[in-house]
Structure 1
Amino acid sequence: MITRARLLPVVAATAAAVAFLAGCGGDQREGPARSVSSAPVSTPAVGPPVVEVTPDGLADAVTLDRVMGHVRAFQQTADNHGGTRASGTPGHAASVDYVAGLLRTAGFEVTTPEFGYQRFDAGPVELTADGDKIDAHVLEYSAGTGGKSVTGKPVEVGALGCAPGDYPPAVRDSVAVVTRGQCTFADKARTAETAGAVGVVVVNNEPKPMLGSTLGPDDRPGIPVVGISSDDGQRVRSSSEVSLSVDAETTPVTTRNVVAETRTGATDDVVMAGAHLDSVVEGPGMNDNGSGSAAVLETALRLGSSPRVPHRVRFAFWGGEEDGLVGSTEYVRGLDAAERRAIALYLNFDMLASPNGGYFTYDGDDSEHQGAGAGPGGSDGIERVFAKFYADRGIPLGPNDFDGRSDYGPFIAAGIPSGGVATGAERKKSKEQAEMWGGTAGEPFDPNYHSPRDTVDNVNTESLAVNAAAVAHAVATYALATNGPDGVPAVGVRQRAEG
């Protein structure tokens, strides 16, 4: 699952920013030194496809033992490649080969489309004014300061800093202080750099921190750029010297998605299920998201490449999710109008085995009235399918807002009904949730989130068993019928709505 710090990457070929609502999360760069081994990856035996596809039958076939076999294979893959499966690394490439190889052997039509983008990694930021610390946040794609600080007199820029004439001669070898508004942050920063500034402090136009702001990956300035609140703006402006240190770098990444499709069923009414295959750089990502990838993979293998169902089923394993939903965004962006209409719905599975987890499904009808609104028409039916599955097992469900932190985001933006389940990330479990699901109140759902500790040893197998069955149950439900009380708009309705 993506964090706020990585919500705005840009696919290199298009230079268009991914802009979905931010979640919460922190950058964790520390961790033990990683060794590289060459231990072979154990591929679990692949079970035969179910003879007759039914929701309960496919759910029963997707067993914990088989799902954990894939999780262990992902862990071995990470162990063999420096402890990570992040996009652009050998660990992710090996994960792609593992998934694609099993699906090809099972007879699926498989592609592994390649794409590129710029990954921005930021660490600590320190801004001081006359020695006093100021709360500052680096703008995405800012330059770093190379392990040292830049120091200079703060010089207030005229107007909003959008024109060269706004920058007085005193800006040279100083830190430009510019107010937010009118033109882009990148325009302000490039103009300040041309005027000779050694750094830029952007003052927000309201009394709150500047979070989630970006310069964009193209034609970036070579000086550090940070943002502060309007309340802190006067402290900086009135100081005699500011010092700025930024730990940040931008790296070009090339990686792949895996897309596999059955060979039977209607091609104009496709059921799609997906999970991101990449981890963060800092760890192997067994819960986030080896768990979802393993459950979707095993569901595909037990469904089989030629099931006797009326609908084509497509499985996706996304790259670049942790850097801003890049793989899924690139995929949806590449669909033409007919291909978008042909996707009946998208099911997303991200973090199914949090150690202190709960049971959440996306709030398709926005009945909770929190955060983002309802999903596209039909998302409410997907929510009901999951609600019934868990209710039948005596498990209460909690609502999960469509906050844009996972790969359903691009599908919702394209008007495709979406849903899925999850077990929680870095948010802390409430007392009421602990009473409902067990676990420890006041602790994160996943205390190992985005860290080297997200290993196979910390996977919640009890949750994974239930949630993997839910993945299979939902896929089979919609492979058999996309209409009905919990269905989605028919192809013709989708076509009329778009046209």
Structure 2
Amino acid sequence: MQVIDSAPRVAVALALALAACGAEDGGEGPPEPEPALCDALGEAIDGAALESHMIAFAEIADANAGTRAVATPGYARSAEHAVATLEAAGYQVERQVFEYPDYELVGPPDLALAGPEPRSYLFYEEFRVARNSGSAALEAPLTPIAIVPGLGNASTSGCAIEDFAGLAPGAIAVVQRGTCSFNDKAENAAAAGAGAMILFNQGDSEERKGVFSLRVDAGTTIPVVSVGYEIGLSLAEAGAAGHLGRIQVAGREVDRQTENVLVETPATASGRVIMIGAHLDSVPAGPGINDNGSGSAAVLELAAQLQRCAPEHQVRLALWGAEELGLYGSYYYVATLPEEAQAKIALYLNLDMIASPNSARAVYDGDGSAFGEPGPEGSAAIEAALAGYYAGLGLESGETAFDGRSDYGPFITVGIPAGGIFTGAEGSKSAHEAARFGGEADAAYDPCYHQACDDLQNYDREELWINARAAAQVIGDFASGTLPLPPPVTPRAARPSPRPPAAAHDGAVDSHSHPPCGDASE
């Protein structure tokens, strides 16, 4: 990976505390837009403003059942906060409404051990229903499928149809998480004649022990539910002893509407457009302050500071809806973009989870040097620019897989160069990463990933400030012409569907399941 040294543009001591970057300017009002200010856009990012957006998102979640998930009042209030912020900064806001498929339960689900000591499990706290689960009510034998217990296990349970050999027709398959997608396991269970599938957490690490949310493809024919590791083992043991389980799920697919929020600076003579975006929604389980209040806050603050500069190229900023359900907002945007508009987009920068409390700061592997999956031409230059910014401050940065599992995915599908910043999700930080980035080895990058505790105590304020500045500086450098833009993209006739298949996501209702970030060798 070539690194562009941005030290001359970022020679601002890191000791400039967050409080300092939020200092008052004496009340003189914003300066007139100037091209030169684009070259110092990173320095303009205000730590106090970032914090105010994070507090606003937390307060919105607190007032709306603890979530900012799409199709909830919390998401609607988050969008209103974004719109109000952007309008106050002088933008004309586009609220792009789109339709996406959702799934809802039409009756209370049930999971129970039928005997010899009956036990019913609490919905959501102890078991969850997969999005797009099939519907049925049954009492049937529990059948463990190739279970591998213990820390450090490499479970492949349910990944091969042969794992289900001997399964009685209509039995409840008890399957362990690991290796292949949730949907692969569900498809194999259904093909083997299972009446339902219980998927329990892998238990290979402390972070993979609790109950978890999951998703399977629309059209799944059998009930699919998840439980934590300990409950899963107990059900597997009960099944090995010949006991029965009971499952009841009744659900249906429904169409809903939500929105993306977009703004842009004035068009310029170059005709080129630089984009940056972040998803605005959280998962239903929590407020989503790191995931992805952090990226959203950075986009909102960048939008405010962009009004201070007069870029050579137009900048467009987006807050995406329904990312957590499958990148629906960004897919809709790209799929409905006219070819001439698509051709104008020079690059896209994605901000998703940029303030993890046990961060391993990473940029997307645009050149493919770490993970062997390079992005479209120009992606390597984005990676180099971000890495160069960090190097100029004497900071480490690593690489994370460029696998399309966040909102940059639709852009690279049509050949638009992309990049971005990611600081880690549910995976564990290695000892090598801890030596490079600080923090705690063998602990999750984000211990509250997709949980109710993803709140104001669950993000690193300095990390947010650093990464928001990095994104702003790189956008400013490309927008001002300091860094050359990639060559124009030839529009592709086959653009992604406005309603992507579940395979576009990883099936975990988890768009951040990257390999360990920061070091491709571990």
Partner of 1:451, secondary structure, is coil
What do residues 468-493 of structure 1 show as CA deviations (whole Å, max 9, x unaligned)?
A: 11121011111112863xx312x2xx
**Structure 2: distance between partners of 1:466 and 1:112:** 29
**Structure 1: distance between partners of 2:421 and 2:185:** 37
The amino acid that maps onto 2:281 is: D
The question of whether the paired residues in 2 share the 8 Å contact of 1:150 and 1:199 is answered with no
1:104 Cα deviation from its structure 2 partner: 2.2
The reply on whether 1:395 has 2:377 as its aligned counterpart is no
Partner of 2:340, secondary structure, is helix
**Structure 1: distance between partners of 2:55 and 2:31:** 22
Structure 2 counterpart of 1:48? 30
The question of whether the paired residues in 2 share the 8 Å contact of 1:109 and 1:262 is answered with no
The reply on whether 1:346 has 2:311 as its aligned counterpart is no
The question of whether the paired residues in 2 share the 8 Å contact of 1:274 and 1:349 is answered with yes
**Structure 1: distance between partners of 2:188 and 2:441:** 45
2:51 to 48, 65, 68: 68
- 1:304-453 map, 5 Å: 304=307, 307-368=309-370, 370=371, 373-453=373-453
1:245 Cα deviation from its structure 2 partner: 3.1
- 1:152-191 map, 5 Å: 174=170
1:188 Cα deviation from its structure 2 partner: 11
2:132 to 137, 141, 146: 141
The question of whether the paired residues in 1 share the 8 Å contact of 2:383 and 2:420 is answered with yes
The amino acid that maps onto 1:109 is: Q
**Structure 1: distance between partners of 2:406 and 2:112:** 30
The question of whether the paired residues in 2 share the 8 Å contact of 1:390 and 1:397 is answered with yes
**Structure 2: distance between partners of 1:78 and 1:215:** 27
The question of whether the paired residues in 1 share the 8 Å contact of 2:186 and 2:197 is answered with no
What do residues 95-142 of structure 1 show as CA deviations (whole Å, max 9, x unaligned)?
A: 1111112212323232111223233589998999x99xxxxx987512
Partner of 2:40, secondary structure, is helix
Structure 1 counterpart of 2:300? 297
**Structure 1: distance between partners of 2:363 and 2:388:** 11
Structure 2 counterpart of 1:283? 286
**Structure 1: distance between partners of 2:353 and 2:224:** 34
1:313 Cα deviation from its structure 2 partner: 0.7
1:199 Cα deviation from its structure 2 partner: 2.7
Q: Single out whichever of 334-343 and 424-433 deviates more from structure 2.
A: 334-343
What do residues 239-276 of structure 1 show as CA deviations (whole Å, max 9, x unaligned)?
A: 99974637685564431110111123247411000000
What do residues 217-256 of structure 1 show as CA deviations (whole Å, max 9, x unaligned)?
A: 36x65x52689xxxxxxxxxx9999746376855644311
**Structure 1: distance between partners of 2:358 and 2:266:** 39
What do residues 425-469 of structure 1 show as CA deviations (whole Å, max 9, x unaligned)?
A: 111111111111111000011111111111123221110111111
What do residues 331-374 of structure 1 show as CA deviations (whole Å, max 9, x unaligned)?
A: 11111222211111000001111111121000100111x2x610
**Structure 1: distance between partners of 2:360 and 2:215:** 33
1:498 Cα deviation from its structure 2 partner: 7.6
The question of whether the paired residues in 1 share the 8 Å contact of 2:133 and 2:216 is answered with yes
2:91 to 104, 108, 111: 108
The question of whether the paired residues in 1 share the 8 Å contact of 2:268 and 2:312 is answered with yes
**Structure 1: distance between partners of 2:301 and 2:244:** 56
The question of whether the paired residues in 1 share the 8 Å contact of 2:323 and 2:407 is answered with yes
What do residues 79-104 of structure 1 show as CA deviations (whole Å, max 9, x unaligned)?
A: 12111111111111111111112212
Partner of 1:457, secondary structure, is coil
**Structure 1: distance between partners of 2:129 and 2:329:** 25
Structure 2 counterpart of 1:224? 223
What do residues 150-208 of structure 1 show as CA deviations (whole Å, max 9, x unaligned)?
A: 32799xxxxxxxxxxxxxxx97xx5599xxxxxx999999999xxxx993679xxxxxx
Classify 1:189/1:460 alpha carbon distance in 2 versus 1 (closer, same or farther; 3 Å).
closer
The question of whether the paired residues in 2 share the 8 Å contact of 1:150 and 1:198 is answered with no
1:377 Cα deviation from its structure 2 partner: 0.4
Gaps of 5+ in 1: 1-43, 132-136, 155-169, 178-183, 203-211, 228-237
**Structure 2: distance between partners of 1:127 and 1:320:** 35
The reply on whether 1:97 has 2:93 as its aligned counterpart is no
**Structure 1: distance between partners of 2:215 and 2:462:** 40
The amino acid that maps onto 2:388 is: K
Structure 2 counterpart of 1:35? none
What do residues 375-400 of structure 1 show as CA deviations (whole Å, max 9, x unaligned)?
A: 00000000010011000001111111
Classify 1:109/1:482 alpha carbon distance in 2 versus 1 (closer, same or farther; 3 Å).
farther
**Structure 1: distance between partners of 2:434 and 2:104:** 34
- 1:204-223 map, 5 Å: 216-217=217-218, 221=221, 223=222
The question of whether the paired residues in 1 share the 8 Å contact of 2:386 and 2:471 is answered with no
Classify 1:450/1:241 alpha carbon distance in 2 versus 1 (closer, same or farther; 3 Å).
closer
Partner of 1:495, secondary structure, is coil
Classify 1:329/1:281 alpha carbon distance in 2 versus 1 (closer, same or farther; 3 Å).
same
The question of whether the paired residues in 2 share the 8 Å contact of 1:126 and 1:246 is answered with no
The question of whether the paired residues in 2 share the 8 Å contact of 1:482 and 1:488 is answered with no
**Structure 1: distance between partners of 2:78 and 2:241:** 52
The question of whether the paired residues in 1 share the 8 Å contact of 2:343 and 2:490 is answered with yes
Gaps of 5+ in 2: 1-23, 118-127, 144-167, 174-183, 199-212, 227-239, 495-522
The amino acid that maps onto 2:195 is: G
1:497 Cα deviation from its structure 2 partner: 8.3
Partner of 1:321, secondary structure, is coil
1:61 Cα deviation from its structure 2 partner: 1.2
**Structure 2: distance between partners of 1:145 and 1:425:** 34
Partner of 1:405, secondary structure, is coil
Structure 1 counterpart of 2:12? none
Identity %: 40
Structure 1 counterpart of 2:490? 495
